[in-house]
Chains A and B, each alone.
Chain A
Amino acid sequence: GAVVSQHPSRVICKSGTSVKIECRSLDFQATTMFWYRQFPKQSLMLMATSNEGSKATYEQGVEKDKFLINHASLTLSTLTVTSAHPEDSSFYICSARALAPDEQYFGPGTRLTVT
């Protein structure tokens, strides 16, 4: 089956620093990738949609200058949390859309803790 990886799986950073999270589709090409944020015991909240070679589309209320998304290739998207603050601590999950079958496959998630 289609596999999506994320790196790192866990990261702890200090307030004010930036953190980059990678999302890779390992055995398929993904023209579209999605970034979600999930708080404890809550559902997934879509942050942005990224298409290869174009600017990401952010959901309402998501700061695009704080959450920088780059989709440089058909297998890699990155999310950079800039000037992180403790309130950015969360579980970040990416998904990648495969064309055949037309399905979204989720990565294992990245636990970000900002101290």
Chain B
Amino acid sequence: QQQVKQSPQSLIVQKGGISIINCAYENTAFDYFPWYQQFPGKGPALLIAIRPDVSEKKEGRFTISFNKSAKQFSLHIMDSQPGDSATYFCAAITQGGSEKLVFGKGTKLTVNP
């Protein structure tokens, strides 16, 4: 019940295309859903995050879509660029609870020029 399932494991997109990464969770106590971007040899960096009281959040080319009833959320990268090539992790946490982030297994995104 603590798992966050992430798909696909890897994704190849052409420059200018849309990258879509999906995550699903079981624990309804999760109340905060961040996405992290990690480049090789670096630590994860917070990209964008959403709370379940909204269905969508957009920051620049990055959008999170959230479906509370389905317990699913997804990251959309519009106009994908080669510089977006990285590994993306979705996560979930119950803030004010255990404070432990539960991570998905990651998606390696490659954007071809």
Contact = CB atoms under 8 A, between A and B. Distances in A.
Interface string B62-89: 0000000000000000000000000001
B43 interface: yes
A19 interface: no
B42 A104 contact: no
Interface residues of B, number: 19
B99 A106 contact: no
Chain A: interface secondary structure?
A: strand
Given A32-B99, A104-B101, A106-B36, A42 B106 contact: yes
A105 B46 contact: yes
Contacts of A102: 95
A105 B46 CA distance: 7
Contacts of B60: none
B89 A97 contact: no
Interface stretch (A43-51, A68-76, A79-87): A43-51
Interface residues of A, number: 23
Nearest to A97: B99
A8 interface: no
Contacts of A42: 105-106
Contact of A49 (B89, B95, B100): B100
B6 to A, nearest CB: 8
A56 interface: no
A43 B101 contact: no
Given A102-B95, A103-B46, A105-B46, A44 B103 contact: yes
A3 B93 CA distance: 21
Interface of B: 34, 36, 41-46, 49, 89, 95, 99-101, 103-106, 108
The 5 closest A-B pairs by CB, nearest first: A106-B43, A109-B43, A108-B43, A43-B103, A106-B44
